[in-house]
Amino acid sequence: MSTTKVLLGFIAGAAVGALAGVLFAPESGENTRKKLADKAGDWGDAAKDSFGGLIEGVKNAYSTTKDKMEEFGDHTKAKMTSARNEVKEEGRTAKSEVRNALS
């Protein structure tokens, strides 16, 4: 299940719970509003923590992918340099063989 769906489910459940709490609260409206405000703050903190974790995960994934791509680029560059040097050497060898054959 995706993080977005979990977060939306959490928010929807919190809203339904808050509504049920208000409707069935045996306390005065002032006390109920204070409790709701406290709970809303707790839910906000939980949402911030979840979002912060998601952001941290994205940063880590980006960093790991970037490192792997740089490593791949370095490896590819080394292979291309090696192949270019091999082709140059083969060209020199072929040129030398042609000169020797024509002499």
Q: Using pLDDT thresholds of 50, 70 and 90, give the confidence band for residue 50.
A: confident
> Over the stretch 84-103, which tens digit does the pLDDT of each residue have?
999 999 999 988 888 888 87
Q: What CA–CA distance (Å, rounded) separates 95 from 100? A: 9
Q: What percent of the chain has pLDDT over 70?
A: 95
**pLDDT at res. 74:** 95
Task: Tell me the HSE value of 24 on the side-chain side, using a 13 A CA sphere.
Answer: 6
